[in-house]
């Protein structure tokens, strides 16, 4: 059996499309679909109840809103299948999805299979996000764990992989991590894995939406979320005894939080007035995350403007950092006009 876990929160506009694609792909495969209605306020409950009334392989669980990680964990607590996948309620799968899983994950008996996806853009275009084909054994995975940032396709997106139940039966998503929770979960997975396969195939369709592309308000707890992510990642890793390997991992941490997390924090400042921006910028720089990461950041960002921004931030040149941000925001607004 293949188990599919679908967290659903206010998904009335897309849940029919999602389940219909699963129904089409099911064919004669033995599957179970567990839909967790995570406190939806729209018609999600009625729609999924209708599906469950006609499809015996669909199970519905309703709960008060607790967030994505908690909803996924509820599904993990009751899965029956030997292999587990996650599907988001606003996405779909191709009709060969389960055929593909049997061929690439079930029969070869891999711990985790990572596959590509198609991005369904708002303008109707489709962009394929294929992976570079690779296979990792235990020793390869140990080295992979030192280089999370440069292997983001392996650590991001829970919906772009197949897990053996044996691998994740005792693992759960961290409910305290609200930002980048998938990467923490996958670090824990690969601590246990001995066979990982990455393929180019793209049987999953990720739908862009306006809310996922832009944010129209200030996120007051974003720094705290990133600090929680940092602490969770420190705890998730099996830290190497080799000083050389340890330094590689520390450098990877630095690159992740400087190049990938910092832009979210800096762009969040656009919603504040000028005085509040400086205060928030200082708070970010003085966070233990950046106090610990800056000294280990040795990568040279390819974009000169971003490189200069990182340098000014690192050296606590707050006025220059804010001026550079203003220029970036201006250019971005002009390009989007």
Grade residue 209 by pLDDT with cuts at 50, 70 and 90.
confident
Q: What is the mean pLDDT of residues 208-232?
A: 83
Q: What is the mean pLDDT of residues 244-265?
A: 96
Q: What is the mean pLDDT of the chain?
A: 94
pLDDT of 217 > 90? The answer is no
Percent of the chain residues topping a pLDDT of 90? 91
pLDDT of 133 > 60? The answer is yes
CB 193 within 8 A of CB 111: yes
Percent of the chain residues topping a pLDDT of 70? 97
Q: What is the mean pLDDT of residues 107-112?
A: 95
pLDDT of 178 > 90? The answer is no
pLDDT of 164 > 60? The answer is yes
pTM reported for the whole predicted model: 0.93
- pLDDT confidence of residue 213: 43
- pLDDT confidence of residue 25: 98
pLDDT of 88 > 80? The answer is yes
Provide the CATH topology of domain 2-211.
Answer: Spore Coat Polysaccharide Biosynthesis Protein SpsA; Chain A (3.90.550)
- pLDDT confidence of residue 56: 97
pLDDT of 336 > 70? The answer is no
- Domain spans of the chain, in order of start: 2-211, 215-336
**What does the pLDDT look like over 52-69, one tens digit per residue?**
999 999 999 999 999 999
Grade residue 335 by pLDDT with cuts at 50, 70 and 90.
low
**What does the pLDDT look like over 6-27, one tens digit per residue?**
999 999 999 999 999 999 999 9
């Amino acid at each position: 059996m293949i188990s599919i876990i679908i967290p659903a929160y206010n998904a009335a506009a897309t849940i029919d499309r999602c389940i219909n694609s699963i129904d089409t792909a099911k064919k004669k495969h033995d599957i179970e679909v567990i839909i967790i209605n995570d406190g939806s306020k729209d018609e999600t409950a009625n729609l999924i109840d209708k599906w469950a009334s006609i499809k015996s392989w669909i199970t519905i669980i309703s709960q008060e809103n607790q967030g994505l990680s908690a909803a996924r964990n509820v599904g993990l607590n009751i899965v029956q299948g030997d292999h587990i996948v996650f599907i988001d309620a606003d996405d779909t799968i191709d009709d060969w999805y389960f055929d593909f899983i049997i061929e690439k994950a079930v029969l070869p008996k891999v711990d985790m299979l990572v596959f590509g996806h198609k991005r369904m853009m708002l303008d109707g275009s489709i962009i394929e996000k294929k992976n570079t084909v690779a296979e990792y054994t235990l020793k390869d995975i140990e080295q992979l764990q030192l280089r999370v940032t440069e292997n983001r396709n392996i650590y991001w997106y829970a919906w772009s992989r197949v897990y053996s139940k044996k691998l994740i039966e005792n693992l759960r998503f961290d409910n305290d991590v609200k930002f980048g929770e998938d990467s923490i979960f996958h670090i824990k997975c690969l601590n246990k894995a001995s066979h990982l396969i990455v393929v180019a195939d793209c049987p999953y369709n990720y739908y862009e939406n306006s809310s996922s592309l832009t944010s129209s308000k200030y996120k007051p707890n974003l720094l705290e979320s990133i600090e929680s992510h940092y602490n969770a990642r420190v705890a998730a890793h099996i830290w190497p005894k080799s000083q050389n390997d340890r330094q590689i991992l520390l450098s990877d941490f630095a690159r992740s939080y400087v190049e990938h997390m910092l832009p979210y924090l800096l762009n969040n400042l656009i919603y504040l007035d000028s005085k509040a921006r400086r205060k928030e910028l200082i708070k970010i720089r003085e966070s233990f995350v950046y106090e610990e990461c800056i000294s280990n950041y040795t990568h040279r960002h390819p974009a000169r403007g971003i490189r200069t921004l990182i340098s000014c931030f690192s050296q606590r040149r707050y006025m220059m950092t804010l001026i550079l941000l203003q220029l970036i925001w201006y250019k971005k607004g002009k390009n989007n006009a």
